[in-house]
Chains A and B, each alone.
Chain A
């Protein structure tokens, strides 16, 4: 009757504009620039012992709002996963499913392949490279590039900043190498 199922995934033409609206929302609420990866730096500045100049700033003043926003993302992930999703298989295209099956992926339930991302995978070389190595690359790369998908691809491109375009092209270059070269090698095909 409603014609709308709260458990179904949001189509891209609804979720994309909604995500874009966080840029003006944060600016209007407090003149904050939308970008998630600064939080990695704030966490280092807050808890890791370091004398590096990069971490010498007042993380509470610069970053408390963003850490709070991030805590919200965690809560939002909890709410959406447990209350607003059903357990049906991910609705990727048949072509994508076939490609991933060719790489040996069998389980398409949920949002991530449980065969690849589980605690027991940490005892395998493949798991260590994906779960720990991938995290290291993300953290190092985003700090080096001065932003991640939110800061460069959304905020930066929307503000027509050329450095952000270069960074986004870099994201895709790295992602294509990861997808077409590193993953097939890792998954042993």
Chain B
């Protein structure tokens, strides 16, 4: 067999392994494994994050006042943002699927499916998160934007959130999912 054919075969095997590990990742809730990104890619993600932070702040999504207004049903602002964001993302995903668009590096685009199981983790974990969201008035992305904007005490909240995630990681085997 020619070397070229050998190489092709190896590539195919490799992509099988990648797919298998992706399937396993979904089943075990491990993070989706990507090839390591180079510096240029990381700078690009940093720039995208910067734009995201600017829009979050300009939209006042980072504001405790806006979150309170939302949970008190006193304005359309946050609901409008969430609804149009979901709609835009959903339409974009449909376009990506219909036209079979691929990532810049040629990867087929696929969002990992979340496994429902008993569903406990979603409603219970969600409710715990929501309680914190109402008290702090910011979720993880907005927390970073607020700290960047000078709300330095939010560093304590962010570190507490890291500790909260660590506590989950340690307690995970004991929790119903």
Contacts and interface: CB of A to CB of B under 8 A. Distances in A.
Interface of A: 9-10, 12-13, 15-34, 36-44, 48, 50, 52-55, 57-66, 68-82, 84-85, 90-93, 95-96, 99-100, 108, 111-113, 116-119, 121-122, 129-150, 152-164, 166-180, 182-183, 186
B125 A146 contact: yes
Contacts of A177: 127, 130-131, 134
Given A29-B44, A73-B141, A78 B148 contact: yes
Contact of A95 (B74, B123, B127): B74
* Residues of A contacting B: mostly: helix
B11 to A, nearest CB: 18
Interface residues of B, number: 125
A133 B132 CA distance: 7
Given A146-B29, A171-B133, A74 B65 contact: no
A84 B59 CA distance: 11
B152 A119 contact: yes
A90 B66 contact: yes
Contacts, number: 542
Contacts of A71: 46, 49
A19 B58 CA distance: 11
B52 A76 contact: yes
A173 B5 CA distance: 57
B87 A167 contact: no
B83 interface: yes
B170 A50 contact: yes
Contact of A142 (B42, B46, B140, B154): B140
B74 A66 contact: no
B139 A148 contact: yes
Contact of B84 (A16, A57, A119, A122): A16
Contact of B132 (A34, A41, A134, A159): A134
A166 B119 contact: yes
B46 A178 contact: no
A181 B173 CA distance: 31
A143 B170 CA distance: 11
Given A19-B59, A68-B46, A170 B167 contact: no
Nearest to A157: B86
A135 B156 contact: yes
B15 interface: no
A159 B93 CA distance: 7
A18 to B, nearest CB: 5
B71 to A, nearest CB: 4
A174 B126 contact: yes
Given A24-B89, A73-B49, A179 B71 contact: yes
Interface string B64-94: 1111111110111110111111111110110
Given A154-B89, A160-B90, A136 B129 contact: no
B162 to A, nearest CB: 5
A103 B103 CA distance: 49
